[in-house]
Amino acid sequence: MTPPAEGAAHRLTASPASEHSTLTTPAEQLDPDRRPNPNAFQQWLALTGRTLKTMVKSGELAIALIAPLIFTIGFYLPLKFVMGLQGIDYAQFLMPIIVLQAMAFTAISASQLASREAQTGLTTRLKTMPVLGPVPLISRMTSGLVRSTLSLAAALGYGYVIGFRFSAGLAQAALFCALALAISLTFSIGADAIGTLSKSPEATAQALTLPQLILGMLSTGFIPETGFPEWIRPFVRNQPISQFSYAMRDMAEGGVTASTLFPALAWCVGLIAVFAPLGVWASMRRR
């Protein structure tokens, strides 16, 4: 029989080891169901659904439908008569820039969303959780594409009211819409990076509105190239908004040719090559 003193000493020496083995159980011995098991698709679905619900509650999707109407009325009515005197079907001529302005507007909204998430700390919080790195950015781009699709559909609907038509066939119409959404995605990735880095929705919107206005006004989206002074025509003709307008205008009427399509695609690919790495870096960087 073990003496009481020896039994107490045995318990004192044995207890820490037993407690240590209980509290520091290796991760591989835990229940596999309790281990973190990130699923990119489920994370993307949850974050995208959250963003879309926020857009519905805040009225952003409603604004996406109303903004093209404002652009259509504001751009079409003032110049319709003047362009008609020059023999230009202004509804057909103007439609690409209405769509491009709507896509740029959704990009600004994307930047404000990224700014709000960075400002409220959600972006930082997601980085401390088992969320796969690019998922938050992809979810924001997905919700942005939903908003862009609604805005594009609304713009085309308003365009049909003023007389715009797709006369080059269904394939060209599909190409028109695909290019518009690709441009929207390109702009949105760059805007998202700026919004994430700035953390100020107001400052971000102001910073992005000015380039949009300058490139829009100094383009062939509103008036032909001949309407500009000769010294600025090379810039007007070759800048991206003009090249997008040329291609989309041909897609709607007559069909686009390779010589018109290539510059637009080159601009789109070049911009995405710059914006995509910047957007991924801004979204995943550790502070």
Please check the confidence at residue 18 and state whether its pLDDT lies above 60.
no
pLDDT of 154-163, one tens digit each? 999 999 999 9
The closest of 101, 66, 67 to 212, measured between CA atoms, is 101
Q: What pLDDT was estimated at residue 216? A: 93
Please check the confidence at residue 19 and state whether its pLDDT lies above 60.
no
Using CA atoms, how far apart are residues 102 and 275, in angstroms rounded to an integer? 19
pLDDT of 70-116, one tens digit each? 999 999 999 899 898 888 999 999 999 999 999 999 889 888 888 88
The 3-state DSSP class for residue 251 equals helix
Say if CB 39 and CB 131 are below 8 A apart: no
Diameter of the chain measured on Cα atoms: 117
pLDDT of 219-249, one tens digit each? 999 999 999 999 999 999 999 999 999 999 9
Q: Output the CA–CA distances (angstroms, integers) from residue 213 to 123, 154, 168, 221, 245, in the order listed.
A: 30, 21, 30, 12, 15
Using CA atoms, how far apart are residues 261 and 278, in angstroms rounded to an integer? 26
